[in-house]
Chains A and B, each alone.
Chain A
Amino acid sequence: MAPGDPAYMIYGGGGYLPPEVISSIRQDFGLDKSLAEQFYLYITNMLQGNFGFSYAFRAPVLSIIAGRLPATMLLVLSSLGLMIVFGIFFGVSSAKKPYSIRSNAITAVSLAGYSLPEFLIGQVLIVLFAITLGLFPTGGMYSVRGEFNPIVDVLWHLALPAVSLAFGGLAIISRLTRASMLESLHQDYIVTARAKGLSERSVLYRHAFRNAMLPVITVISLRLSALLAGDLLIEVVFSWPGLGRLLFDAMAKRDFPVVQGMFFLISITVVTVTLFTDIIYARLDPRIRYSK
């Protein structure tokens, strides 16, 4: 089985462990039961809202995860916001005048954006903006001495990780927005809208973009698991005290209850978001009807 017996990890210290100590630890944590039995217990407990007890943190898994959730939500949602707003803005402005210098520059930067792993973007930003220029902290979520307004302090710590996490998704969203905008800008109703004398902004965002939006929404939802993976890497790079780091630490410590809890959470999130995207899809595009 897994390299690293949880019993040793629970004990903490290295070296020789007398067999009776191991077996008593196993008994305390229910590790002496058969795998099937353990699995059955896990499922029945889980359905009652008990996700088990962490070996490493000596606390219920659910409360550990709940404690880390806000930090991750802050990071993931702010970078999701960044990538959607800027991705769409860049995509639309690049579709406005395709093959202009500005449009080509956006295309080039976005190609570069998803040719780099997130953690490397994070490291480059640390070297540039934290170490060399000293503008931002290299990691963490709060300053050790709380000399600032706490909200400003968290935002200041959030800037680099949020930008590094947003980069890849931003690149994909802007590319896709550009492509699907180019398609919808060729439609007759755009000519009509222009002929009516609508402002360029109104034509772009209220007419063309509304129809170009669907594939963009799909890709945002399909990117979700990539976003969560990126979140883990970015949290490790910036020592952000969120769920990604928790999962990483739990794996290193063979803290299986936490790992299982995290995987349950990730799966539920991905499935729920995918389902919601499908529903939103039908609401946004009346041509789509789910029927048999």
Chain B
Amino acid sequence: MMKRFSTSGIFAFLRQYKKNRGAAFGLVLILIFLIFAIFANIISPYDPLDIAVGPPLQAPDAKYFMGTDDLGRDVFSQFFFGARLSILVGLLAALTATAVGLMVGSIAGYFGGLIDEFLMRLSEIFLVIPAFFLALVLLTIYGSSVWLVILVIGGLGWPPVARIIRAEFLSFKEREFVDSARVIGVSKFNIIIREIMPNALPPAIVSATLVVGIAILAEASLSFLGLTDPSAVSWGQLLFRAQKYLRTAWWLFVFPGLGIFCTVLGINLVGDGLNDVLNPKLKER
């Protein structure tokens, strides 16, 4: 059951993935929001931070598709720039978590013994640190910064990835192809990176995907408490500012809320779909 990705493998993968309608829908959602995020500066009719481009608290109409906020800024433009920042936070946090997880998991799984013991205990310690509260206190002490949010969510999100990778390494390192690589004198580093890692990666992808969603939600929650940079436009920031107008201006929180919901839903659906394809043993679930 070698699971290396070749081109024909990718097509087979897509064929199987497509069967899961929810997952296909999720992928479409994500692609739409990725386009929003990448082309935010082209799609947006106004600068998201420009005040008084319209009358304040104008309800959605033909000119301002999502209305304007209390300072007359265009919510439609803010929505796209919000997508950019929220998705960026999610991706970078997931990338951090995955990078650390791959490193820790592969070292623990390949070398075993005391190193393994130590790294796994370490991952248990990280697993019980309440990420949200740590982010809360760090943001209060060191001031609001998007990078800090990414670092905390990513830096605490690696244990699940590490554990999966470790388990895969434990089973793969005993296989013949690894033995043969060792016999012909491939270095340990290359065995880990080029021989085992490509095979161990697929199951870890699922839990890496989920970190993206977790990070977006965490950023939104921290912003909602007013702890992130007020000059940065993220969906969480928009929701934070919308609080005062909950009774009067529904468009201020409905659109960013929908943005978060659709993106995270898309990610979770894709995660589910990938899980079905990459972990076929669990398919019945």
Q: B-contacting residues of A (Cβ < 8 Å)?
A: 1-3, 111-112, 114-120, 123-124, 126-127, 131, 178-179, 182-183, 186, 222, 225-226, 228-229, 232-233, 236, 247-248, 251, 259, 263, 266-267, 270-271, 274
Contact = CB atoms under 8 A, between A and B. Distances in A.
Given A115-B213, A115-B264, 6 more contacts: A115-B268, A117-B220, A118-B221, A120-B257, A183-B285, A267-B130
Main secondary structure on A side of the interface with B: helix
Given A123-B253, A236-B225, A111 B268 contact: yes
Contact of A112 (B132, B213, B265): B265
Interface hub of A116, A183, A222 (most chain B Cβ within 10 A): A116
A1 B137 CA distance: 13
B246 A225 contact: no
B156 to A, nearest CB: 10
A228 B133 CA distance: 9
Contacts, number: 99
A123 B246 contact: yes
B255 to A, nearest CB: 12
15 contacts: A2-B140, A111-B265, A111-B268, A112-B261, A115-B213, A115-B260, A115-B268, A116-B257, A117-B260, A119-B221, A119-B224, A126-B246, A179-B282, A228-B130, A229-B132
Contacts of B265: 111-112, 115
B143 A3 contact: yes
Nearest to B236: A117
B130 A225 contact: yes
A120 B285 contact: no
Closest 6 CB pairs of A and B: A225-B130, A229-B132, A115-B265, A179-B285, A115-B264, A251-B140
Interface of B: 22, 127-133, 136-137, 140-143, 213, 217, 220-221, 224-225, 239, 243, 246-247, 250, 253, 257, 260-261, 264-265, 267-269, 272, 282, 284-285
Contact of A263 (B133, B247, B268, B269): B133
A7 B70 CA distance: 35
A109 to B, nearest CB: 12
A225 B285 contact: no
Contacts of A120: 220, 239, 253, 257, 260-261
Nearest to A233: B221
Contact of A229 (B143, B221, B253, B264): B221
A131 B246 contact: yes
A260 to B, nearest CB: 9
B145 to A, nearest CB: 12
